[in-house]
Structure 1
Amino acid sequence: MRRSILRYANGGAAAFAFSMLALPAAAQDNNARFYGFFNLVVAGVDDGFTTNTQLADNSNAPSRLGFWWENAVGAGTLKFNFETALGIRQASNLSQIDPDPNFFNYSRGSLRKVEFIYEGNFGKVYVGQGSMATDSIAGADLSGNDFISTRSISDISAGYAFRQTGTGTPGPTVGSTFADFDGARLGRLRYDSPTFGGGFFVGASVGENILTSGNDDLNYDIALWYASENGGMKYAGRLGAAWVDGQNGNPDNNSVVGSFSALHLDSGVNGTIAAGWRDNSGLGSNYIYTKLGIRRDWMAWGETRLSADFFWGGDYVSAGDDSFTWGIQGTQVVENANMELYLSYRQHSYDVAGTSYENIGVWGLGGRWFW
Structure 2
Amino acid sequence: MTSNLKITTAVALLAASTASPAAAELKYENNSGGYVLIYGQLNPAIISVDDGEQTETNLLDNDLSRSRVGLRLMQPFGANEFGFRFETGLGLPNSTEVDQNGSFYSGWSREDLRHVDFWLEGDWGRFSAGQGSMASDGAAEADLSYVGTALYSFLADSNNSFIFRDPAGVLSGPTVGGITDSFDGSRRARVRYDTPEFSGFTASVAWGQNVLTSGDDRDYYDAALRYANEFGGADFSAAVGYQVRDDDGTKRSDVVGSASVLLQSGLSFTVAGGSRDDDAAGASDPSYYYAKVGYEGDWFSFGKTGVGVHYYDGSDFNLDGSSTTGWGVGAVQKVESINTDVYLTYQEYEYEDSVANYQDLSTWVLGAKWQF
Instruction: Determine if the TM-score, normalized by the shorter chain, exceeds 0.5.
Output: yes
| Secondary structure in 1 matching 2:173 | strand
| Secondary structure in 1 matching 2:115 | strand
The reply to whether residue 151 of structure 1 matches residue 164 of structure 2 is: no
The reply to whether residue 253 of structure 1 matches residue 252 of structure 2 is: yes
1:168 shift after superposition: 1.8
Q: What is the rounded CA distance, in whole Å, between the counterparts of 1:328 and 1:316 in structure 2?
A: 23
Return the letter of the residue paired with 2:226: W
Aligned residues: 341
Structure 1 pair 160–297 and aligned structure 2 pair: CA distance change class (3 A): same
Aligned ranges for residues 88-107 of structure 1 at < 5 Å? Answer: 88-97=92-101, 99-102=102-105, 105-107=107-109
Q: What is the rounded CA distance, in whole Å, between the counterparts of 1:26 and 1:224 in structure 2?
A: 34
1:286 shift after superposition: 0.1
Q: Identify the residue that residue 244 of structure 1 maps to in structure 2.
A: 245
Structure 1 pair 306–50 and aligned structure 2 pair: CA distance change class (3 A): same
1:182 shift after superposition: 0.9
Q: Identify the residue that residue 339 of structure 1 maps to in structure 2.
A: 340
Q: Identify the residue that residue 262 of structure 2 maps to in structure 1.
A: 263
Q: What is the rounded CA distance, in whole Å, between the counterparts of 1:179 and 1:37 in structure 2?
A: 25
Structure 1 pair 53–75 and aligned structure 2 pair: CA distance change class (3 A): same
| Secondary structure in 2 matching 1:162 | coil
Kept after mapping to 2: 8 A contact 1:286/1:314:
yes
Q: Identify the residue that residue 182 of structure 1 maps to in structure 2.
A: 184
Q: What is the rounded CA distance, in whole Å, between the counterparts of 1:307 and 1:234 in structure 2?
A: 18
Aligned ranges for residues 108-257 of structure 1 at < 5 Å? Answer: 108-197=110-199, 199-247=200-248, 251-257=250-256
CA RMSD in angstroms, aligned pairs only: 1.6
Kept after mapping to 2: 8 A contact 1:307/1:329:
yes
1:147 shift after superposition: 2.8
Q: What is the rounded CA distance, in whole Å, between the counterparts of 1:92 and 1:300 in structure 2?
A: 35
Q: Which runs of 5+ in 1 are unaligned?
A: 1-24
Deviation track 1:3-48 (CA, whole Å, cap 9, x = no partner) reads: xxxxxxxxxxxxxxxxxxxxxx786995111111111111000101
Structure 1 pair 82–252 and aligned structure 2 pair: CA distance change class (3 A): same
Q: Could you state the TM-score of these two structures normalised by the residue count of structure 1? A: 0.89
Moved more, 105-114 or 66-75: 66-75
Q: What is the rounded CA distance, in whole Å, between the counterparts of 2:236 and 2:71 in structure 1?
A: 29
Q: Could you state the TM-score of these two structures normalised by the residue count of structure 2? A: 0.89
Q: What is the rounded CA distance, in whole Å, between the counterparts of 2:29 and 2:344 in structure 1?
A: 42
Aligned match of 2:39 in 30, 35, 41? 35
Kept after mapping to 2: 8 A contact 1:54/1:100:
no
Kept after mapping to 1: 8 A contact 2:349/2:360:
yes
Larger helix proportion of the pair: 1
Deviation track 1:285-330 (CA, whole Å, cap 9, x = no partner) reads: 1000000000100111111100000000000111110000000010
1:50 shift after superposition: 1.2
